[in-house]
Amino acid sequence: MDILRSRADCQRLEALRRSSKPLVLVPTMGALHEGHLTLVRCASGLGPVVVSIFVNPAQFGPKEDYSAYPRDLERDLALLHELDVAAVFAPTMDDIYPCSEGVMVQPGPAALELCGRDRPGHFRGVLTVVAKLFNLVRPQIAVFGRKDAQQCLVIAEMVRDLAMPVRLLDHPTVREADGLAMSSRNAYLSTAERQRALVLRRALAAVRQELVRGQRRCLELQATLRRELVPADAVEYAEVRRIPDLAPLRDATGRLLVAVAARVGRTRLIDNLVLCVDDAGVHEIPLLSDVEVLI
């Protein structure tokens, strides 16, 4: 496993590009958990894998947890050593942000909704770092987690609008045995909060059940989400939106994102369901439908 620490080190990826299989990038902010590792295992079935590890300051708001965000590169490298990873790209700040007032990527419409309302500038930071990672690693495929569904859609808009030569895949959300979506931020939860955090999953399950029973009114479905989320300390959003533009809907039909963001204690958690609702029923589907399904 090659460890790339700078822009210049990325030249060593040339050898991997000569592989008959596509070069696959899995971008992360480190503090790796089983969710990340599952993405990496899937990615390594597609071609040589580069995992990037960079805690991106540009995607954190001034009151967010940038400085407290967990960092342990040695541990992350030890975990990745056990997997089939060709290279880890762990760049320095200067390699990613050589200029403090540098060029940033302006997101498209999907960034204005949901997390975009609560975290102004977040997706601008995400797209800027993802564009740089794509340019430095030049992957043919990039794998992202469906847990961050809006992030996937906003990145897909960038790839389409800026004509980036990369295919995107969204991997299903990896969960703990009791259903909690795995997240580096789960480490912040106390034992009692960890139990309460299950309300996000329960709220999504309740909406799915209502859809299966035939409820199609988004206002009713959103009211169910809010009711189920009462044990959380604050609800940032609880919405049923259209895929891919995240526009609000009156009736829940077609491709839908059921998305929640809530605080449990001081920890902000998100979770979602990606569904197709049609005459055939209610089905979970991949988010990025124009690319091959990973699993």
Give the binding site for ligand AMP (CB under 6 A).
28-29, 35-36, 39, 144-145, 147-148, 171, 173-174, 181-184
Task: Point out the residues that are catalytic.
Answer: 36
Nearest CB to ligand AMP, comparing residues 27 and 108: 27
- Residues 115 and 151: their CA atoms lie apart, in Å, by 9
> ∠ CA(140), CA(145), CA(150), 5° rounding?
100
In the complex, least distance from residue 118 CB atom to ligand AMP, rounded to whole angstroms: 17
Which residues share a beta bridge with 193?
A: none
Nearest CB to ligand AMP, comparing residues 128 and 173: 173
Cβ atoms of 116 and 239 closer than 8 Å: no
Nearest CB to ligand AMP, comparing residues 60 and 144: 144
Nearest CB to ligand AMP, comparing residues 153 and 249: 153
Nearest CB to ligand AMP, comparing residues 174 and 232: 174
With 0-12 / 13-18 / 19 or more C-beta atoms within 10 angstroms meaning exposed / middle / buried, residue 94 is exposed
- Structure token digits, residue 192: 């009692």
Sign, CA dihedral 54-142-129-66, equals negative
CA distances from 27 to 184, 195, 197 (A): 14, 29, 26
Query: Measuring CA to CA, which residue among 138, 130, 135, 139 is closest to residue 24?
Result: 139
What is the SS3 assignment for 13? helix
In the complex, least distance from residue 185 CB atom to ligand AMP, rounded to whole angstroms: 8
In the complex, least distance from residue 61 CB atom to ligand AMP, rounded to whole angstroms: 15
In the complex, least distance from residue 143 CB atom to ligand AMP, rounded to whole angstroms: 7
In the complex, least distance from residue 181 CB atom to ligand AMP, rounded to whole angstroms: 5
Determine phi and psi for 165, rounding to 5 degrees.
-85, 70
- Residues 273 and 218: their CA atoms lie apart, in Å, by 14
